[in-house]
């Protein structure tokens, strides 16, 4: 069973303008849609929300373009089994929104099961008339031995 857990935590309690509140709520919905599409291999949703010039960095320091990322997910080369995004905060910066948080996910990459545990930053950008997912960059949390 695929599982998504998404927990918001506003770190900066400064009041938001009405437009920022609207964008904040929209980005939350888009992030949840993106994670659900990753879990369900819904490449149509991903194709609609990912920017054409997206850069998706992985925790092993490789990166994918939009087409490469969608191909990996739709082919099963990269499968997300569960995603837990916690301590998520969103900062609206004009026509960009930064999503910061802690991501823990169970994945199968090239046939090998992995547990991802990282802090991340995701970038959304207003392109034309809609918000698109522009970039993702994780920083793995070191394992304590």
Backbone φ and ψ of 37, nearest 5°: -65, -35
Asked, for residue 145, whether it belongs to a domain, the answer is no
Domain that holds residue 132: 3-10+17-140
Asked, for residue 65, whether it belongs to a domain, the answer is yes
Task: Give the Cα separation of 118 and 19 in Å (integer).
Answer: 30
pLDDT at 66: 98
pLDDT for 52-77, tens place per residue?
999 999 988 999 999 999 999 999 99
Arithmetic mean of pLDDT over the chain? 90
SS3 95: coil
pLDDT for 121-133, tens place per residue?
999 999 999 999 9
Decide: 50 and 44 in contact? Cβ < 8 Å.
Answer: no
Task: Give the Cα separation of 50 and 21 in Å (integer).
Answer: 22
Q: What total of structural domains would you count in the chain? A: 1
CATH code, domain with 34: 3.10.450.50
pLDDT at 21: 78
Asked, for residue 67, whether it belongs to a domain, the answer is yes
Asked, for residue 54, whether it belongs to a domain, the answer is yes
Asked, for residue 38, whether it belongs to a domain, the answer is yes
pLDDT at 115: 94
Q: Where is pLDDT greater, at 59 or 138?
A: 138
Question: CA-based angle 22:28:29, to the nearest 5?
Answer: 90
């Amino acid at each position: 069973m695929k599982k998504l857990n998404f927990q918001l935590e506003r770190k900066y309690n400064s009041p938001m303008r009405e437009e920022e509140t609207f964008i904040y709520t929209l980005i939350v919905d888009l992030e949840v849609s993106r994670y659900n599409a990753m879990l369900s291999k819904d490449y149509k949703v991903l194709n609609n929300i990912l920017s054409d010039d997206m850069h998706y960095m992985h925790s092993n320091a490789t990166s994918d373009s939009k087409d490469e990322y969608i191909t990996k997910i739709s082919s099963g080369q990269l499968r997300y089994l569960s995603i837990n995004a916690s301590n998520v905060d969103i900062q609206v910066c004009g026509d960009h929104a930064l999503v910061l948080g802690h991501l823990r996910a169970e994945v199968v990459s090239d046939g090998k099961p992995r547990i991802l545990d990282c802090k991340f930053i995701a970038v959304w950008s207003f392109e034309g008339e809609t918000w698109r997912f522009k970039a993702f960059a994780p920083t793995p949390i070191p394992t304590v031995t």
